[in-house]
Every structure is written in structure tokens, then in C-alpha cells.
């Protein structure tokens, strides 16, 4: 049986979410002279850049033209990419390198299922480009999370049926997407917020043997 492990990026492989939040705050401050509440930023977790910008503008009751929206989205991406300049292998979250190696030893194919258009750049800076056989391109999927499209694309990228995949996520939108794809959802964070099939509080506590045992019991 071909089996695969699908990974979100922000908050699972690296803590790049902090760079996203800083970029959003600066963008909105520079253009609208407003602060973005923490609760509103939390709603963007796991969402694409376009969906995140929509959520922020709506939450702040701001209206912009289509042209300005596109410019804002591009500027946010520029701010984010600038902030990644110093990212390196030290940015990999604790335990993730070991987890990837352990999965490969158990003959899992590895694929990335991230909403980030910058995923290839981030993996390169982290020194993990060779660890993943496929990177799903969010620009080529119809819908973002919580729709399952990105996880279905990642599974297809390694020629694996979604039901034979385990997937790692730290956002509720991502967990919903994994379940909609028919894969087994491993959450990183608080189970009360994620409602994953199995959940660990952080990357250091992830137990692959426990995951695989639970996965087989619930198939």
C-alpha cells in the first residue's frame, strides 16, 4: 500500500506565522493607520493570502477596489518575503527533522500542502527542499482551506489515495480540509480548537508510533 504524510508549513514545520502577522500589521498600519486585533489575525490562520486579506478588511470594516486589493496582497507578500531573509535551518520547529526522517524510514512519501505561495522558498531556506517529493501549488487548486483541494493535490502529487494519507496541521481550517479529503488528521495545538483525529500540544510531543496505531484502529 502506498502511504503518504502531508504537511502544512506555517506552525507545523516552521514558525513562519509570526512573519505573516508582522506583515499584516505593518500593511494595515501603513495604509489605514489602524491596528489589527489579535483575535482578527487569529482568524487568518491556515488561510490563503487572499482569504486572509478579505477577513482582515471585513473585520475592520474597510472597503477597497479590486485594483487596490491586488496591490495590498502583493505588498503584503513583499513584506513577508523580506522578513524571511534571515530564515535558516534553525527555524525548523523542534522534533520536525526527526519526524520527517522517521516517516521516510517507514516508507511514507512526503508532500507539502500549504496555502503559502512562498513554500518552495521557505523549504529551501530551511534546508528541507529534498525532504519532500511534492509541493502542492495553491495557485493551481480551486479552493483554499477549509476546502480539501490542497490536500487532495498533495496526495495526488505522490500518487497516493487520500485515505492512505496522514496529514499534519495546526489550524482548524486545515483540520477541516484534511477530514474533507478523507485523510487522517494530526493536529498540533489545542484539541478543543482543532478537533483533530489525534492531537499533540506542540511538535516536540508528536509520537509517530501513537499516530500510526490510532490511525490503524480507526480505519
Q: Which residues are catalytic?
A: 8, 10
Please state, in angstroms and rounded to a whole number, the distance separating the CA atoms of residues 35 and 134.
38
| Contacts for 136 with CB less than 8 Å, ≥ 6 apart | 111, 112, 113, 114, 150, 151, 153, 154, 157
Please state, in angstroms and rounded to a whole number, the distance separating the CA atoms of residues 195 and 180.
13
Cross-strand bridge partners of residue 4: 109, 165
Q: What are phi and psi of 17, to 5 degrees?
A: -60, -35
Q: What letter does residue 164 receive in the DSSP assignment?
A: G
User: Residue by residue, what is the 3-state secondary structure of 29-62?
Assistant: HHHHCCCCCHHHHHCCCCCCHHHHHHHHHHHCCC
Amino acid at each position: 500500500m502506498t502511504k503518504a504524510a502531508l504537511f502544512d508549513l506555517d506552525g507545523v514545520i516552521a514558525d513562519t506565522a509570526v512573519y505573516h502577522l508582522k506583515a499584516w500589521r505593518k500593511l494595515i498600519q501603513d495604509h489605514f493607520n489602524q491596528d489589527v486585533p489579535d483575535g482578527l489575525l487569529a482568524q487568518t490562520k491556515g488561510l490563503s493570502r487572499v482569504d486572509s486579506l478579505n477577513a482582515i478588511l471585513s473585520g475592520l470594516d474597510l472597503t477597497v477596489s479590486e485594483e487596490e486589493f491586488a496591490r495590498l496582497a502583493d505588498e503584503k507578500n513583499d513584506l513577508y518575503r523580506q522578513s524571511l531573509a534571515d530564515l535558516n535551518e534553525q527555524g525548523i520547529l523542534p522534533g520536525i527533522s526527526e519526524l520527517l526522517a522517521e516517516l521516510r524510514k517507514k516508507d511514507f512519501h512526503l508532500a507539502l500542502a500549504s496555502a503559502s505561495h512562498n513554500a518552495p522558498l521557505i523549504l529551501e531556506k530551511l534546508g528541507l527542499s529534498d525532504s519532500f517529493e511534492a509541493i502542492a501549488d495553491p495557485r493551481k487548486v480551486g479552493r483554499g482551506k477549509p476546502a480539501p483541494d490542497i490536500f487532495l493535490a498533495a496526495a495526488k502529487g505522490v500518487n497516493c489515495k487520500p485515505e492512505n494519507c496522514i496529514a499534519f496541521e495546526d489550524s482548524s481550517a486545515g483540520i477541516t480540509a484534511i477530514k474533507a479529503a478523507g485523510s487522517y488528521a494530526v493536529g498540533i495545538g489545542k484539541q478543543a480548537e482543532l478537533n483533530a483525529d489525534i492531537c499533540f500540544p506542540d511538535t516536540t510531543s508528536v509520537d509517530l508510533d501513537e499516530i500510526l496505531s490510532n490511525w490503524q484502529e480507526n480505519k
